[in-house]
Chains A and B, each alone.
Chain A
Amino acid sequence: MTTVRPPAGHTDVAGELALVEEPPFRVPRDRADLHLFLQAALALEHLTIPPYLTAMYTLHPGANRPAFYAVRAVVLEEMLHMALVANVLNAVDGRPRVAHSRFVTGYPARLPYSKDRFPVALRHFGVAALETFLHIERPEYVAEPPGHPSVADDDGWTSIGQFYNTIGAGLVRLAGELGEAELFRGDPRRQVGPEHFYNSGGEIFRVTDLPSALEALRVITEQGEGVDHTVYNTDDRIFGEVREPAHYFRFDEILRQRKYGPYDTPASGPTGAALDVDWAAAYPIDPEAKAADFPAGSEVRRAADRFNEGYAQLLCVLEGAFTGDPETLGRAVPGMLALRELAERLSRNPHPDPARRERGLHASATYEVTDEHFARARGGHLGTP
């Protein structure tokens, strides 16, 4: 794992930041290049899920329900994005790989596709966690893809939006070079459809050609950051659903304890109804917790290890569904429920280390998934941690 020193200003993250592998700063040149980019997008969509889950599962039971359901809605859409990227990758005859130790970078990680050295850590529900989420989902000026004269001086990615636009440019270019049918020659049986995945805002759809692939990229970027300088996503336009604030603005509502009203803009900020948040109703955790911090043989350690192994099992199920039969995606459900129980149980326990316990910290799930976990996961089965 490559690491960098964290920037100043985030003093509670003292250790090194894991680096997410970024593809080279260019428009994908050929099919293999495109696969590389889409695989990186898959890892990017996954990167945000553990921090969001950690915020949810550190809440006191029954507390901060509006916040809980807001984060939950976002995390489900991130899962939708992962599945959509897998569909695009399968459509262009790639192979989505999620069950290997390099896929889960480790936390804290450096936010990729950004000039800032911003740490994405696993934090309990609270102001620091929400500020992290806002940073991840922040709508910002999206630079043109590499090669455009306006970015001639850049030597690296400046935003996630730029990265996705680059994938879009690559799809268009390769569809022109190879022919659309040849580019989208992937096995249609690998496509995840609405019968395999639902419950999020938006809807999974099959990717079979250039328009559906570009639509998938549009859903991914617009659900996160909103569209047309409004606070809203495009679920109403694309899916005929209730219009909802994009991820950034939903997190902003919690942080500012006020809802966005129908006439609010990003500039106005939220002026709607008050949203009650109890900042104390969460179990504080160490943002750099590692399973090794918990004494070997202790119950907390066993639960943390079981969690990491369960997470490896979950990723094996996902890879099986993405590379084989999408029907098997349903098997992830008992695995996710088991992980939720384990994570909540961990955060209800005071940290075993006396110094950290003194600071009021609790144990937590660490999302450290090693090759050893994967090896054991492939031998075991899900739902029985």
Chain B
Amino acid sequence: MTATPPHPGARRYDVIVVGAGLAGTLVAKQLGDQGWRVLVLEAGTDTLSTWPGHLDALDTFYSATAKVPNSPYRPNPAAPSPDLLDIEGLPGGGYRSHGYFLQDGPLPYGTDYLRATGGTTLHWLGLTPRMLPEDFTVRRAYGYGRDWPIGYADLEAHYRAAEGELGVAGDAAEQSEAIGLPFPEGYVYPMREIPRSHLDRLLATELDGFPVKESEGAPDTVLRVVTTPHARNSTPDPRYDGGRGYRPVGAAGLPNYGERCVGNASCVPICPVQAKYTPLKTQARWDRRVALVTHAVVSRVLTRGDGRVLGVEYLAYDDPAAPAHTTHTAEADIVVLAAHAVENAKLLLLSGLAGHSGQVGRNLMDHPVLLTWGLLRAPTGPFRGPGSTSGLESFRAGRARRDRAPFRIEISNWGWSWPTGAPGSDVARLLGITGDSGQPRGKGLFGSALRATLGDEIGRQFSLQFALEQDAEDRNRVTVDPGRRDRLGIPRPVLTYDLSDRVKRGMVAAKAVSDRIFARLGADDRTAYGPGPFSPGHFRFAGRDWVFHGAGHGAGTHIMGDSRDTSVVDAWQRCWEHPNLYAVGCGSMPSVGTSNPSLTLAALALRSSEQIHRDLTELHRPVVVRAVPAPAPAPLSGGAVPAPATAPGPTPVTHHRGPEGQP
């Protein structure tokens, strides 16, 4: 890795990758391994790939008051990231947005990301469910949203490759049998599933086989607790890869370290032992031909008149705190934008590229999350293990999708941490401290009474997370505001976001399902939705209050499709109008189903890498200008000198590369 920016114009690369997050890291890995010279430009810093940097992030997280996903990672004014603390709810409803994002929609976009080497995947939970085959054809099958130009079958091999690269722990037989996911015969994940939590087993006892109606007159849906695949070190499965097994990948930055998951329960935002996959693990195995330049904020994609792009312009800074930067350019045969859905859209808009369909920045999506929470009668063993080890998968598919958004139910192992900020908020509440510092402090509990109450209440906490599919709508969009710029002078993104009634109807169904589950469990339901400072996602629907949260699953903005008139990229994530410009990541997804999207992002990135390799190979293959005539058989005897072949002289030949890679 080099920390020195290349001399402007002095070095050419085969590929420039913008962004060292999950997608960019995988593309660089594949192309570097195939011998291409790759330049990776990362807007943020590379501190976290070192062991002291990792420990510093841990310390920062431990001492943070609000343990939001970006809390371990130091703010970088030169390459700002959105933060969940940037949005606040207003007392009478509505929200106010601070920070990097400018927001002007009816509802806030409550999803963050991280601009640093490793990207947002540093603070992901690490769940890697595949999308369902029917998720790729929601328009054809259910009449809403947008269809993919490819299907599950086109992506299946890449799903397997991604599961190998990320090191997925899961039970393929269960995924197949309980959810109906098609796998090749005998397929096993690299590692065995992360064991079910105590709560998972508790819920399975009550809920497996239990029929639920999501509304009056609706058909029964039978519940079943199913383990979730994770990109997290567990027990390697010796059957993997035809019996060759799998060697778990340890930590980045410290040799021979990196444990199995031991349940530290802080996957979001940081796994202390690096059992969780992060792109830093893949970067440690990058070929030497991959050059990483950090502190390099790409400001523009440079284009020629004919639609092909030349390279990128980037702003290099040294000290994140100092308002000083220098401008550079780098050139390559192919440019790959892998900077996150919002940042990719921002770059395309700022560069004035890919505008034919009018869809750049549109169809912004997430998985809006509805939380429900309560107390069980028995201890739930909360705050141990990964955030979720199992889910209820019965509401992800089927005819109900015609009317409402489908949803996946994650069983949370971390008590009420997401809905209420437990357990810190429980301590504060019992001490009589309220969220409002203007109010006098109430009468609190102390000593053994405090400990006993905390132990009893926190020990019985549980919550369900309903992650809904958001349908692609072109009104949900990213634009840029040239009047409001970041520290380096780059216009900041403006987000305009709302939830469709289809999503809201999904939430109504989700809450009804939750009510039936809570009743079955005999749980004390403490779910409450209302406006307030911690509820920026408050809205009213069907005569009731609701609060939703962002899932951190930014998607859409440069969706793929089968026509240049209606989509931004083709099935290879290549911009229709720019044959050597790719935009990879969740931004390409025309629909997001109910699966946490990183695995699908990874599979798409691996698939695109194959096409980029083919494009590069093609660019280096000369056309045969003139056929060389076959030599005449030499006479066996006689001294006759063969007559020279008639030289027709050079024929002007137009160098046709042919249509650039139809999928």
Which A residues fall within an 8 A CB radius of B? 62, 65, 69, 72-73, 76, 193-196, 198-203, 235, 241-242, 244, 330, 333, 337
- The chain B residue sitting closest to A65, CB to CB, is B55
Within 8 A of A (CB), among B224-259: 235-238, 245, 247-248, 250, 254-259
Complex contact B235–A330 (CB within 8 A)? yes
Interface centre among A69, A198, A202, A242 (most CB of B within 10 A): A198
Instruction: Please name 5 further chain A to chain B contacts, defined as beta carbons within 8 Å, in addition to the given A195-B237, A199-B259, sorted by A numbering.
Output: A198-B236, A199-B256, A242-B255, A244-B255, A244-B256
Which B residues fall within an 8 A CB radius of A? 51-52, 55, 59, 235-238, 245, 247-248, 250, 254-260, 262
- The chain B residue sitting closest to A72, CB to CB, is B257
Complex contact B250–A199 (CB within 8 A)? yes
| A76 CA to B52 CA, complexed, in Å | 21
Complex contact B256–A201 (CB within 8 A)? yes
Q: How far is the CB of A377 from chain B (nearest CB, A)?
A: 22
Q: A65-B55, A69-B51 are in contact. Are A195 and B259 (CB under 8 A)?
A: no
Q: A62-B59, A333-B262, A337-B262 are in contact. Are A195 and B236 (CB under 8 A)?
A: yes
Q: A241-B255, A244-B256, A337-B262 are in contact. Are A198 and B51 (CB under 8 A)?
A: no
Complex contact A194–B247 (CB within 8 A)? yes
- The chain A residue sitting closest to B195, CB to CB, is A330
- Which listed residue (B52, B55, B238) contacts A195, Cβ 8 A? B238
- Which listed residue (A73, A76, A195, A201) contacts B235, Cβ 8 A? A195
| A330 CA to B236 CA, complexed, in Å | 12
| A52 CA to B51 CA, complexed, in Å | 22
- Residues on the B chain within 8 Å of A203, using CB: 247
- The chain B residue sitting closest to A199, CB to CB, is B259
Complex contact A198–B248 (CB within 8 A)? yes
Q: How far is the CB of B7 from chain A (nearest CB, A)?
A: 29
- The chain B residue sitting closest to A62, CB to CB, is B59
- Which listed residue (A69, A196, A235, A330) contacts B257, Cβ 8 A? A69
| A65 CA to B235 CA, complexed, in Å | 28
| A200 CA to B259 CA, complexed, in Å | 9
- Residues on the A chain within 8 Å of B248, using CB: 198
| A72 CA to B257 CA, complexed, in Å | 9
| A203 CA to B245 CA, complexed, in Å | 13
Complex contact B245–A242 (CB within 8 A)? no
- The chain A residue sitting closest to B191, CB to CB, is A195
Sample (22) of A-B pairs whose CB atoms are under 8 Å apart = A65-B52, A69-B51, A69-B254, A72-B257, A73-B256, A76-B256, A193-B238, A195-B236, A195-B237, A195-B245, A198-B236, A198-B247, A198-B260, A199-B250, A199-B256, A199-B257, A200-B256, A202-B256, A235-B256, A241-B255, A241-B256, A242-B255
Q: How far is the CB of B277 from chain A (nearest CB, A)?
A: 16
Ordered nearest first, which 3 A-B pairs have the shortest CB separation? A201-B256, A242-B255, A195-B236
Q: How far is the CB of A65 from chain B (nearest CB, A)?
A: 6
| A333 CA to B257 CA, complexed, in Å | 16
| A256 CA to B38 CA, complexed, in Å | 41
Complex contact B235–A242 (CB within 8 A)? no
- The chain A residue sitting closest to B254, CB to CB, is A69
| A200 CA to B52 CA, complexed, in Å | 20
| A333 CA to B255 CA, complexed, in Å | 21
Q: How far is the CB of B236 from chain A (nearest CB, A)?
A: 5
- The chain A residue sitting closest to B236, CB to CB, is A195
- Residues on the A chain within 8 Å of B259, using CB: 199
- Residues on the B chain within 8 Å of A337, using CB: 262
Q: How far is the CB of A15 from chain B (nearest CB, A)?
A: 37
Interface centre among B52, B55, B235, B238 (most CB of A within 10 A): B235
- Residues on the B chain within 8 Å of A69, using CB: 51, 254, 257
Complex contact B257–A73 (CB within 8 A)? yes
- Residues on the A chain within 8 Å of B237, using CB: 195
- The chain A residue sitting closest to B58, CB to CB, is A62
Q: How far is the CB of A202 from chain B (nearest CB, A)?
A: 8
- Residues on the B chain within 8 Å of A241, using CB: 255-256
| A195 CA to B235 CA, complexed, in Å | 5
- The chain A residue sitting closest to B240, CB to CB, is A195
Q: How far is the CB of A222 from chain B (nearest CB, A)?
A: 15
- Residues on the A chain within 8 Å of B260, using CB: 198-199, 333
